[in-house]
Amino acid sequence: MASASYMEDLTCSICLTIFTDPVSLLCGHSFCRECITNSLSIKDKCPQCRTTVPKEEKYLPTSHILKSLAEKAKEAEKIKTKQRDETTGVSESLCPEHEEKLKLFCETDQQLACVICRDGEKHDGHKFKPIREAATSLRRELEKGMEHLPDDIHAIDSLANMQREEITKIQVMSQQLMTQISTQFEEMHQFLRQREEEIKNELKEKKTEAVEEMTEKLQAMDLALSESRELQVKMTAALEICNSVKFLQSWTEVNNMLTPECLFRPRANDLQVAHTSLSLGPYESHLQFFVWKEMLQVVKPRAELLSLRGKNTDVTVSDDGRSLLCTPKSSQSQSGLSFGSTRAGDFTNHAFSVSEFSSGQYYWETEVGLRNYWELGVTGHFLKYDGQKYVISNQSSVTELTFTDRPRKIGVYLNCSSKELSFYDADKMKHVHTLSSSLMSLPVSAYFNIGHSEDIDRNPLTVCWY
């Protein structure tokens, strides 16, 4: 009872825990400094006896005696708790199922167990250790693991920092690309708006010229119509005069300069209707195509203007350096076209671009037409067609592809920084496949192969220039 009373005297009546930095009011009651400060800020009264606390008393000195006793009480409470945990946690803890003391540790299930648990079906064949031995063994493993944990934490922290940097980089890169895309689309929009305005202005000018011509014709027709109607009125009035003398006098006074033959000459023969003639030429029927062709002149960057160079006399390169043709070869040399060959340069009928690529991004298109064999790509990495199958081939693997339609034009996109090579059906601008290879050795040249043939294939392999 003395111990309980002792603890009660050292307990703050506000937070109900042992004092922390205790202070005493004039009424004699003690509290934690933080607790009483918060209480007095709301109401100037002692929380226990409700005695009013003067404002000048709100600065309260620490009660060092209570503070010392409170610290000792806390230390005693810690020791008591530790002792209770050691006794109840090992020797007095009971199995919830059998109400027996937990004296064993099942290493298989990683849980405490009693003797009855050990002999039960649930733990049949499991490995057990006494609790103290298991605790010692586990403590030893944890201590050993702690030796390497700081290094692992440091390594993970470094990786996390690197990942944060990569996230920042990708966000910055995304924003830059977003700006670049917006800028390039705005340039195209601006070009299209400008051409739209120019074509509309041309249409307006032609409409104005046509309307002016038609208006002149209409004014001449209106004048002739007015004069003819006026003549009709005069003639009707003259014909109503029965007296010959008066009839002649009346008519000659009105028309003393013109003979009847001149007056009655049909004037409609002198007038012609200006028919509608408003044409914008190809912009009327093929506007989108012509404007697209015009846009190609301002689009930057455009497809690479590659020139080819052959490695031997078996390959014919056109004078402009764009087309590649081969001469017939014997069936024996044709046997070198076995499906699955993975290295560029296995066949003699190949060519490379004059220019080499070591950095940056490049795109070019090649017209394959109806050729029954071709290889396109870069040195050591290419797309191959043998008349039946499409295959992606590089220095380490072969991947067969499926095309819904037979493409007539192949686009190749090279990203030197990521060492990625992408292929497109250039007629539809549809992505076909992308291969990424760390084995790609820079610089590389564009690669073209038309294979061997017993018969001359009249379809050349032609690099597209725009």
Give me the CATH number covering residue 436: 2.60.120.920
**Rg, the chain, Cα only:** 51
Residue-level pLDDT at 408: 92
**pLDDT greater than 80 at residue 93:** no
Write down the mean pLDDT value for the chain.
82
Residue 202 lies in a domain: yes
- Same domain (yes/no): 367, 412: yes
Angle of helix 287-296 relative to helix 131-239, nearest 10 degrees? 120
- Same domain (yes/no): 287, 362: no
**pLDDT greater than 80 at residue 89:** no
> Model-level pTM?
0.53
Domain count, the chain: 3
Nearby residues of 147 by Cβ (< 8 Å), 6 or more positions away: none
Residue 425 lies in a domain: yes
- Same domain (yes/no): 312, 387: yes
- Same domain (yes/no): 203, 68: no
- Exposed (0-12), middle (13-18) or buried (19+): which is 424, by Cβ within 10 Å? buried
**Cis amide bond preceding 22, omega within 30:** no
Rounded average pLDDT over 245-267: 72
Residue 351 lies in a domain: yes
Residue 25's CATH number: 3.30.40.10
**pLDDT greater than 70 at residue 2:** no
The band of 343, judged by pLDDT with boundaries at 50, 70 and 90, is very low
Residue-level pLDDT at 436: 86
- Exposed (0-12), middle (13-18) or buried (19+): which is 410, by Cβ within 10 Å? buried
- Same domain (yes/no): 380, 423: yes
Residue-level pLDDT at 378: 93
**pLDDT greater than 50 at residue 331:** no
The band of 3, judged by pLDDT with boundaries at 50, 70 and 90, is low
Last residue of a domain, one of 34, 67, 87: 87
The band of 58, judged by pLDDT with boundaries at 50, 70 and 90, is low
Residue 154 lies in a domain: no
- Same domain (yes/no): 25, 68: yes
- Same domain (yes/no): 319, 451: yes
Q: How many CB atoms lie within 10 A of CB 138?
A: 14
Judged by average pLDDT, the poorest of 15-19, 136-140, 208-212, 302-306 is 302-306
Quick: pLDDT tens for 219-240: 989 998 888 888 888 888 888 8
Walk across the sheet containing 409-415 and list its strands. Answer: 315-317, 323-326, 461-463, 361-367, 409-415, 420-425, 430-436
Residue 146 lies in a domain: no
- Same domain (yes/no): 284, 330: no
- Same domain (yes/no): 227, 324: no
> Residue 40 is part of which domain span?
2-87
Residue 62 lies in a domain: yes
Cβ atoms of 448 and 375 within 8 Å: the answer is: yes
- Same domain (yes/no): 285, 331: no
Nearby residues of 448 by Cβ (< 8 Å), 6 or more positions away: 308, 324, 350, 351, 352, 366, 374, 375, 376, 461, 463
Last residue of a domain, one of 251, 269, 299: 299
Query: Distance between CA 315 and CA 439 in Å, rounded?
Result: 28
Quick: pLDDT tens for 147-189: 888 889 999 999 999 999 999 999 999 999 999 999 989 989 9
Residue 132 lies in a domain: no
The band of 257, judged by pLDDT with boundaries at 50, 70 and 90, is low
Last residue of a domain, one of 87, 106, 121: 87
Residue 121 lies in a domain: no
- Same domain (yes/no): 312, 459: yes
Residue percentage of the chain with pLDDT more than 90: 24
The three-class DSSP label of residue 65 is: helix
Largest CA distance in the chain: 163
The band of 344, judged by pLDDT with boundaries at 50, 70 and 90, is very low
- Same domain (yes/no): 294, 331: no
Nearby residues of 369 by Cβ (< 8 Å), 6 or more positions away: 408, 459, 460, 462
Query: Distance between CA 81 and CA 84 in Å, rounded?
Result: 5
